[in-house]
Amino acid sequence: MPVRRLPAQPSLDHLKHQAKDLLRAHTAHDLSTAQRLREFHPKFARSTDAEIFAFPLRLSDAQLAIAREAGFASWTRLKRHIEKPTLADRLELKHHERIEDPVFRRAVDMIDTGDVAALRTLLAEHPNLIHRHVLLEGTNYFRNPSLLEFIAENPIRHGRMPANIVEVTKALLATGPDTEARNTTLALVATGNIPRACGMTVPLIELLCANGADPNSVRHAAALHGEPGSLDALIRLGAKIDLPILAAQGKLDEFRCQLPASSAEDRHLALAIASQFGHTEIARALLDAGEDPNRFHPLGGHSHGTPLHQAAGYGYLELVRLLVERGARLDLKDVLWRATPAEWAQHENRRDVEAYLREQERLTVQKS
Residue 250 maps to which CATH number? 1.25.40.20
What's this model's pTM, rounded to 2 decimal places?
0.92
Residue 233 sits in the same domain as residue 343? no
Other Cβ atoms less than 10 A from the Cβ of 243: the count is 23
Residue 147 sits in the same domain as residue 225? yes
Residue 342 sits in the same domain as residue 288? yes
Would you state the pLDDT for residue 140? 82
Residue 291 sits in the same domain as residue 332? yes
The angle, 0 to 180 degrees and rounded to 10, between the axes of the packed helices 264-277 and 307-314 is: 20
Would you state the pLDDT for residue 175? 97
Domain-ending residue, one of 204, 237, 270: 237
Would you state the pLDDT for residue 365? 87
Would you state the pLDDT for residue 2? 67
Q: Is residue 103 part of a domain?
A: yes
Q: Running DSSP on this structure, what letter comes out for residue 296?
A: P
Would you state the pLDDT for residue 228? 93
CB 133 within 8 A of CB 107: no
Domain count, the chain: 3
Q: Is residue 105 part of a domain?
A: yes
Other Cβ atoms less than 10 A from the Cβ of 214: the count is 17
Q: Is the dihedral of CA 107, 159, 179, 45 positive or negative?
A: positive
The angle, 0 to 180 degrees and rounded to 10, between the axes of the packed helices 264-277 and 317-325 is: 140
Would you state the pLDDT for residue 63? 98
Q: Is residue 44 part of a domain?
A: yes
Q: Is residue 6 part of a domain?
A: no
Q: Is residue 2 part of a domain?
A: no
Q: Is residue 4 part of a domain?
A: no
Q: Identify the domain containing residue 316 by its residue range.
A: 244-367
**What would the DSSP string read from start to end of 102-138?**
HHHHHHHHHHHHT-HHHHHHHHHH-TTGGG-B----S
Residue 294 sits in the same domain as residue 356? yes
Please tell me the chain's helix, strand, coil percentages from 3-state DSSP, rounded to the nearest 5: 60, 0, 40
Would you state the pLDDT for residue 123? 98
Would you state the pLDDT for residue 155? 96
Would you state the pLDDT for residue 1? 57
Domain-ending residue, one of 64, 85, 106: 85
Q: Is residue 158 part of a domain?
A: yes
Cα separation, 78 vs 60, in Å, equals: 13
Residue 80 sits in the same domain as residue 102? no
Residue 63 sits in the same domain as residue 101? no
Would you state the pLDDT for residue 368? 72
Q: Is residue 23 part of a domain?
A: yes
Residue 64 sits in the same domain as residue 181? no
Q: Name residue 159's amino acid.
A: G
Domain-ending residue, one of 51, 85, 119: 85
Residue 55 sits in the same domain as residue 145? no
Cα separation, 203 vs 315, in Å, equals: 34
Residues near 110 by Cβ (< 8 Å), separated by ≥ 6? 116, 118, 119, 122, 168
Cα separation, 176 vs 182, in Å, equals: 10
Residue 233 sits in the same domain as residue 279? no
Cα separation, 92 vs 201, in Å, equals: 28
Would you state the pLDDT for residue 367? 82
Residue 265 sits in the same domain as residue 334? yes
Cα separation, 134 vs 269, in Å, equals: 32
Would you state the pLDDT for residue 130? 98
Would you state the pLDDT for residue 236? 98
**Residues in the chain with pLDDT < 70?**
1-2
Residue 102 sits in the same domain as residue 220? yes
